[in-house]
Structure 1
Amino acid sequence: MNAIKKIKNSTNKFASNWAKIVIKNKWPVLMFSFLLVIGLGSQGELEFDGDYHVFFSESNPELEAFDALQEKYTKDDNVIMVLSPSNKDVFTKLNLTAIEDLTAQSWNTPYSSRVDAITNFQHTSAHGDDLYVDDLSYNSLNKSEAEINKIKEIALKEPMLVNRIVNEEGSVTAINITVRLPGEDSAKEVPEVTKYVRDMVSNFKSKYPHFDVHISGMVPLNTAFFEASMKDMGLTGIMILIVIITTFLLTRSIQSTLTTLVVVMFSIISTLGFVGLTGIKLTPPSSVFPTMVLTLAVADSIHIIITMLQKMRKDGLNKNEALIESMRLNFMPVFITSLTTVIGFLTMNFGDVPPFWDLGNITAFGMAMAFLFSTTTLPALMAILPIKVKSKIKENEPVYYFNWYSELARFVIKQPIKLSIISFLAIGFLTYLASKNTFNDEFINYFDESVEFRTDTDYISENLTGVYNVEYSIGSGESGGINNPNYLNKLNEFENWLKQQPEVVHVNAFSEVARRINKSMNGDDERFYKIPSTREEAAQYLLLYELSLPFGLDLNNQINVDKSETRVTVTVKNLDSPQMIEFSKRGEQWLRDNTPTEMHAIGVSPMLMFSKLGFRQADSMLKGNIIALILISLVLMIALRNFKLGMLSIIPNVAPVLIGFGIWALYKAQINTGMVIVFGMTLGIIVDDTVHFMSKFLRAKREYGYNANQAVEYAFETVGQALITTTVVLLAGFAVLSTSSFALNSYMARITVVIIISALIIDFILLPSLLILTNKEKKKVKKKYTSFFFFR
């Protein structure tokens, strides 16, 4: 065949004319692309933000409540170092001396405001009418064994210490450094603290090698976020190598591989420029954009290249004819795919997690650039490069070769009803399973066990104290009201109720301080280990105690300025999101049922914020997903010029997501915030398969006059290889991302892999079956290829 098929509509004419213009002006087009990339790329200055606050929008009510609590008291970003001596006994001269040494060094941590350790715990005692407040242990090396044993006895009976600073056995202890980060530049402040702490711990272990040290806290959490971002950015290099190998194996063309690589690199570099121009700071979720753009950009290029090579090999067209024909056949499908993918990613802006807004906007821009380069740079470069393929068409000689895609088409054509029923039953069952997934946004589980922060935090949870907490700011309704015995007794009741809850590890409440001071002021008599009987007594004791506390160890972290509210911090076991939310609500309900109105409070904490994040994200994304589905369906209706097929496309576009979450229910049955965006993100990707198959189906009916069965077979023959190729590349990209140590990214990638495979199966089985069943008509022409082999 020497001539290109007659063009029947303006879209085809535009695509062909566009291709001809690009081929004719290939060098100027290539130069313009290069200059555009250089111009954008020169603006690509990347900044990273590892602060956990970036996961919450400014209007997030949990964040507002948490910030309000920190304004009343002190900010409590922290580093907790847990020390485990090899002899499993903290209370020896050498070990206490080592703890004293590390505690002293900890005060020099940048931005530190407080250091809590077993040695500097402010122990109260009374001598006559005098109250003495001293470090529990100091100059430990010179103490006698009797004094050491006394320190141990006091520490292991002290509610403020046990399961918070030291475990019940006295084998593990902690040093907690509270830091007040200015918040002006977290990219500088957090690494500064981290570097000091790591160097300090390294020197400590060199001096005291019999100690193991495990580090956790909010600052290490921020560091883990930052390091996860950097590591995931590094996956791009691996993906580029995979794309090169995969593209070459599937196209068997060095030129095609080189051209695809150029389009990919141009798209990524341009997107880097967009990030720099918009001033977006990268976070763990948004840092994966290079892999996203790379993977999706390959899909655009592959369709054009595969069709071009097919036309040269099977139809005997020369390079430029094949390139023009490929652009004619693929321009509109590639445009629709790019547009729907952009729509899908932009719907992330409906969510409540700013890093995913950034990921959506960055990737949407990258997809727009990928479409531009795949319809300009790609044909220009292919026109320049020498491409020769071995044609399978010889003059006056029939050619026999097996076509797997034709056989699959005939398999579907023979039994569309049966395949449709089986498909819908499977989809229905997996949709039911999908409803069994539950949300769980434990921030500890955001990291796998290859991350030191995760293993250290798990160790701390198992051996000393929980790392999750819930905080309540309990008001008294008046200035100085925290000294009112009625208030203190109710606070004490709340403290006791909390300690009885099975999830609770430790409770830190001002009522404990009041009881302890009262006992000390009454000759350390255990009978007075209770709330003072009068307001005057409570106020006097508190004043005397505060005057005795050293700088940095005051009660500002528990009492607000006018002494009208106190802070209750409840440390709990590692609970999943629903359990954390339920526990917080249970505490709030107890306060409503048992205390006056002024003492009612809501539970807040970073852990609670993360627990509610997935639910909030799901609620806010629902509207976005519905809008995306409607817009994409309208785009397909307009592009395909067929209302029925536009409506039909909803099935193969939605079903893969339902299947993906159904299979996920069998795998983990828990989803996190990162997975909530999967519907909007993959919707555009799934459309790639659907729109290319449908466009070829319609082209066969409109241009060749084929009936439904013949059109389905034509679609398989012309687009089957390209769909397989793009699916393999997409799978490779998301499989690489699934190795991320950061669960928001790896879980998202893993379920996307399942969805992409499901989309291909549905578009090869269910979609053609539905096209046949909804397009019943008489056979118009006899198709050229009707046997197990092709004859030309």
Structure 2
Amino acid sequence: MNEQQKQKNGLIKSFATKWAEFIIRFKWPVVIATLVLALGLASQGKMEFDGDYHVFFSKSNPELEAFDALQEKYTKDDNVVIVLAPMNGNVFTKENLSAIEELTASAWNTPYSSRVDAITNFQYTRAEGDDLYVDDLSYESHAKTPEEIAKIREVALKEPLLMHRLINEKGSVTAINVTLRLPGIDTAKEIPEVTKNTREMIAAFQEKHPEFDMYTTGLVPLNTAFFEASFRDLALTMVMFLIVIVVTLVLTRNIFAMLATLFVVFFSIASSVGFVGLMGIKLTPPSSVFPTMILTLAVADSIHILITMLQKVRNEGYTKTAAIIESMRLNFMPVFITSLTTIIGFLTLNFGEVPPFWDLGNIAAFGMTMAFLYSTTLLPALMAIFPIWKKKSKKVKTKEASVSFYTKLGNYVIKQPIRLTVISVVVIGVLGVLATKNVFNDEFVEYFDDSVKFRTDSDFINENLTGFYNVEFSVSSGESGGINNPEYLQTLHDFEAWLETQPEVTHVNAFSEVARRVNRSMHGDDQSFYRVPTSREEAAQYLLLYELSLPFGLDLNNQINVDKSESRVTVTLKNNSSAEMIAFSKRAEDWLKSNAPGAMHALGVSPTLMFSKLGFRQADSMFNGNIIALILISIVLMIALRNFKLGLLSIIPNVTPVIVGFGLWWLYKGTINTGMVIVFGMTLGIIVDDTVHFMSKFLRARRDYGYTAKQAVVYAFETVGQALVTTTLVLIAGFAVLSTSSFALNSYMARITLMIIIAALIIDFVLLPSLLILTSKKTTTNHTKQ
């Protein structure tokens, strides 16, 4: 080791030693100061939740802009779909139709409701002479004769606007669609208000009519599911607290170490809650897991310091004070580096396209900053205050067994570095190939598991009535009043007919269907006139007459814009994968380009399509962020380790666990959602923890003691092996809790993170030491280990 390196080493050790001595000397003021800081920040905390699905899209998201533009032209799409399945399997009985009428009337009282569609209030057109009559398909159902009920069934099961939308082919399941105009001022109050009213209405209806099974879906229930997922995942923090108590106590075998760790964790989370309030962040399902993230990572910081301290006391006869100082001297820089790299990793989430992950990244980065501060101030101060209880004989025996295991593992690795490297490269290569086979799929219904009612209800509705996913097109005529142009109507009808032939499509709602139906009615219900009008003037007159006949709330504002220059085509589809949804939309857009005039060319938009494209956009935008994070972290390691070669070498154990994780994921699931795209940036800092601590101990042995590479590897196993296993177990416990989330963005992210964390430990115990041996210069200096 040259003189310059010795001076740098001494400077770092001197600072860490002096810092530890200062903390121990002023332990009570330090505890009080950190308590004041944590409580001061916590007092600014304000936990608000936002469950609106719009939060998943940035304001510059082109799909969101297009969808908002469509909603400005027509009515908004916020809705609640209430599905009724009578136990007798027949909607069309006097009793069942009467009950549906009753529920339809109640649905109008839903807060912010603007329209209610059901089979009973479907506006059925018929002609008598020169008069056009538009009536509810079934009114006063209790007074209907069996013949009238049969006629209603016949009409409903032949009506294109009802089939696979509000009634299924068997007539055994029907739906009531409540369209809402939410003010959008405070969705945290508006959505729960609608949900509460809807649930009370359904409960009251089922109490009176137990012969119906009820299901709900729609955008408001989707938003509610997001809301409730946030609360459930936040509650996982309490479970994690209990696990941390048990795991820390078992691994350190010291109740005071466990208490000190809990104080660090509690202060870190309390400070982060204050950050949430100060920044005005509203929590969403992805960002609401921040307490579990911070709790898990803060424990990892503390464990390194505690394990070293306890080792010094139990096995090397250090006094408590000397053990704290020595632990801080050895761990201050590695803990600082791992905290810094973890912060960098979380901050890269800001490169993505999903705002809730920006919030998660920023909150976690702040939390990790505070965790480092409390780990290097509050933790040693508390350990200086707390007594150390020792049962020497038992603990020494346990430790010797532990050291013996890590020594044996180190000796096993140094005997065959080439063989272990080759095996590792082959395994990583195979899993790397498998990792490329994963595909994106962001079906938002599948964001929730089967424990969530929204998911099971939506699955039932998809299987028995209609698809929940849709794509919409605003098809322009290019002129005011142009929707009455026969050429426009005919092309629109051709587009409608083409859509109905597509395998994904279950229902198409287009204005051309209304034009055909009214044209038939105006010609004495002659089926030969079930076509678009041939005259523009005739079409305009029919439309005006039809609109004047419609009751309030059931007009055509949801299908045509104000100046009648555009009409809306809504295509309902089966639950398809993201790639299939995007492909369908592109196919439909291409059909319009090939078969319709330029003015009629339209883009497919909808929340479904937005979510489908979100994962791909997130992956593209996160790529640059991940590259920047990798470069920054490698530079940090080069500077911290003061070794350019090892800084470059560190890239291998920092990147390969992610490759291995995604390879294993293909074997487990094979599909990736938006939440998993952030895993590389998020876990990069976590993975670095293992690498930094192992490399720092390796370099210490090389520089301070002049060990050969093989001796240095064994030394690293002996001094840091237990701490790495301990922190890994804590991380596994934390993410295992999060993996139980009913929200797939969080649970899938946690599950693949578990795979990556385990892979990181194995790679740092097998591949990294093998590479260190193979790339290190041989030295003839052979000092005695200290």
Q: Give the 5 Å matches for 1:439-588.
A: 439-588=440-589
Aligned-pair CA distance for 1:778: 2.7
CA contact under 8 A between 1:312 and 1:391: conserved in structure 2? no
2:635 maps to 634
Secondary structure at 1:665's aligned position in 2?
helix
How far 1:318 moved relative to its partner? 0.2
Alpha-carbon distance in 2 for matches of 1:697, 1:178: 65
Q: Is contact 1:710-1:783 (8 Å) kept?
A: no
Displacement, 1:776? 3.1
* Equivalent residue runs for 1:127-142 within 5 Å: 127-142=128-143
What does 1:358-757 correspond to in 2, within 5 Å?
358-391=359-392, 403-757=404-758
Deviations along 1:398-441, whole A, 9 cap, x unmatched?
A: x9986100000000100001101110111111110000000000
Residue 123 of structure 1: CA displacement? 0.3
Residues in 1 aligned to 2:183 and 2:478: alpha-carbon distance in whole angstroms: 31
Distance 2:671 2:164 in 1: 30
- Residue 788 of structure 1 corresponds to none
Q: 1:509 to 1:401 in 2, by over 3 A?
A: closer
- The gaps in structure 1 that reach 5 residues or longer are 786-792
Matches of residues 115-194 of structure 1 in structure 2 within 5 Å?
115-194=116-195
User: Aligned partner of 2:547: which letter?
Assistant: E
Distance 1:638 1:24, change over 3 A: same
2:3 corresponds to: none
TM-superposed CA distance for 1:388, in Å, is 3.1
The Cα offsets for residues 751-791 of structure 1, whole Å up to 9 and x where unpaired, read as 00000000000000000001111113134225449xxxxxx
Deviation at 1:467, TM superposition (A): 0.3
- The answer to whether the Cα contact below 8 Å between 2:547 and 2:556 also exists between their aligned partners in 1 is yes
Task: Summarize deviations over 1:229-283 as a string: whole Å, max 9, x none.
Answer: 0000000000000000000101100010110011011101110111011110000
Secondary structure of the residue aligned to 2:89 is coil
Cα offset for 1:208? 0.5
| Cα displacement (A) at 1:701 | 1.1
The answer on whether the counterparts of 1:351 and 1:618 sit within 8 Å (CA) in structure 2 is: yes
* Distance in structure 2 (CA, Å) of the matches to 1:65 and 1:521: 37
Secondary structure, counterpart of 1:566 in structure 2? strand
Counterpart position of 2:56: 55
The answer to whether the 8 A contact 1:224-1:453 is kept is yes
Instruction: Find the aligned partners of 2:389 and 2:467 in 1 and give their Cα distance.
Output: 66
Aligned to 2:451, what secondary structure does the other structure show?
coil
**CA distance in 1 between partners of 2:642 and 2:287 (Å):** 36
Q: 1:265-316 CA distances to partner (integer Å, 9 max, x unpaired)? A: 1101110111011110000000000000000000000000000001111211
Farther-moved stretch of structure 1 (698-707 vs 125-134): 698-707
Q: Contact 2:705–2:784 at 8 Å: present in 1 too?
A: no
Alignment of structure 1 residues 262-273 onto 2, 5 Å: 262-273=263-274
CA contact under 8 A between 1:309 and 1:389: conserved in structure 2?
Answer: no
Contact map agreement 2:249 2:257 (CA 8 A) in 1 = yes
Cα 1:401–1:283 shift into 2, 3 Å: closer
Aligned equivalents of 1:759, 1:308: Cα separation in 2: 25
Deviation at 1:389, TM superposition (A): 2.8
SS in 2 for 1:620: helix
Looking at structure 2, the residues matched to 569 and 8 of structure 1 have their Cα atoms a distance apart, in angstroms, of 69
What is the CA distance between 1:178 and its match in structure 2? 0.1
Q: Secondary structure of 1:765's partner?
A: helix
Partner of 1:207: 208
SS at structure 1 position matched to 2:82: strand
How many angstroms apart in 2 are the aligned matches of 1:578 and 1:394? 58
Moved more, 99-108 or 385-394: 385-394
Distance in 1, Cα, partners of 2:408 & 2:8: 29
Q: Secondary structure at the match of 1:560?
A: coil
Contact 2:467–2:575 (CA under 8 A) maintained in structure 1? yes
Partner of 2:260: 259
Counterparts in 2 of 1:762-777, with a 5 A limit?
762-777=763-778
SS of corresponding position for 1:9: helix
Give the superposition deviation at 1:394.
13
Gaps of 5+ in 2: 1-5
Match of 1:352 in 2: 353
User: CA–CA distance in 2 between the matches of 1:8 and 1:559?
Assistant: 75
The one-letter amino acid of 2:229's match is A
Deviation at 1:9, TM superposition (A): 2.0
Asked whether the equivalents of residues 121 and 139 of structure 2 are also in contact (C-alpha less than 8 Å), the reply is yes
Q: What are the superposed Cα offsets for residues 373-411 of structure 1, whole Å, 9 maximum, x if unpaired?
A: 00000000000001133457999xxx9986100000000
Cα distance, 1:393–1:218 mapped onto 2, change above 3 Å = closer
Counterpart contact for 2:496–2:510, Cα < 8 Å? yes
Q: Bigger CA drift: 503-512 or 701-710?
A: 701-710
- Aligned partner of residue 503 in structure 2, secondary structure: coil
Q: Deviations over 1:28-79 (max 9, x none)?
A: 0000011011101111110000000000000000000000000011101000
Q: What pairs with 1:71-110 in structure 2 (closer than 5 Å)?
A: 71-110=72-111
2:93 alignment partner AA = T
**Within 1, Cα distance between the matches of 2:365 and 2:108?**
47
CA contact (8 A) 2:705 2:783 kept: no
Q: Distance in 2 between matches of 1:191 and 1:488?
A: 41
Runs of 4+ in 1 over 3 A off after TM superposition: 5-8, 390-395, 399-402, 782-785
Cα deviations across residues 87-134 of structure 1 (Å, max 9, x unaligned)? 110011100000000000000000000000000000000011110000
| Partner Cα distance (1:394, 1:24) in 2 | 29
Aligned-partner residue type, residue 542 of structure 1: L
- What's the TM-score, normalizing by structure 1? 0.97
Offset, 1:703: 1.1
* Alignment: residue pair count: 778
State how far apart, in whole Å, the 1-side matches of 2:389 and 2:521 are.
Answer: 94
Instruction: Tell me the residue number matched to 1:232.
Output: 233
Shift of 1:477: 0.4
**Quick one: which amino acid aligns to residue 89 of structure 1?**
N
The answer for the alignment partner of 1:790 in structure 2 is none
CA contact (8 A) 2:437 2:670 kept: yes
Relative to structure 1, the CA distance from residue 98 to residue 401 in structure 2 (aligned partners, 3 Å threshold; closer, same or farther) is closer
Q: What is the DSSP-based 3-state SS (H/G/I as helix, E as strand, rest coil) of the residue aligned with 1:352?
A: coil
Question: In angstroms, what is the RMSD of aligned CA positions?
Answer: 1.4
Deviation at 1:7, TM superposition (A): 9.4
User: Under a length normalisation based on structure 2, what TM-score does the superposition of the two structures give?
Assistant: 0.98
Partner of residue 324, structure 2: 323
Instruction: Give the distance between the partners of 1:779 and 1:692, measured in 2 at CA.
Output: 25
In structure 1, distance between residues paired with 2:402 and 2:485: 93
Tell me which amino acid in the other structure corresponds to 2:753: T
C-alpha contact 1:76 1:179 (8 A) present in aligned 2: yes
Structure 1 pair 740/394, CA: closer, same or farther in 2 (3 Å)?
A: closer
Q: Deviations over 1:515-539 (max 9, x none)?
A: 0000000000000000101001000
Letter in 2 for 1:605: S
State the AA in 2 paired with 1:651: I
| Cα separation, 2, equivalents of 1:695 and 1:400 | 24
Identity percentage over the alignment?
72
SS at match of 2:781: coil
Q: Match of 1:44, SS?
A: coil
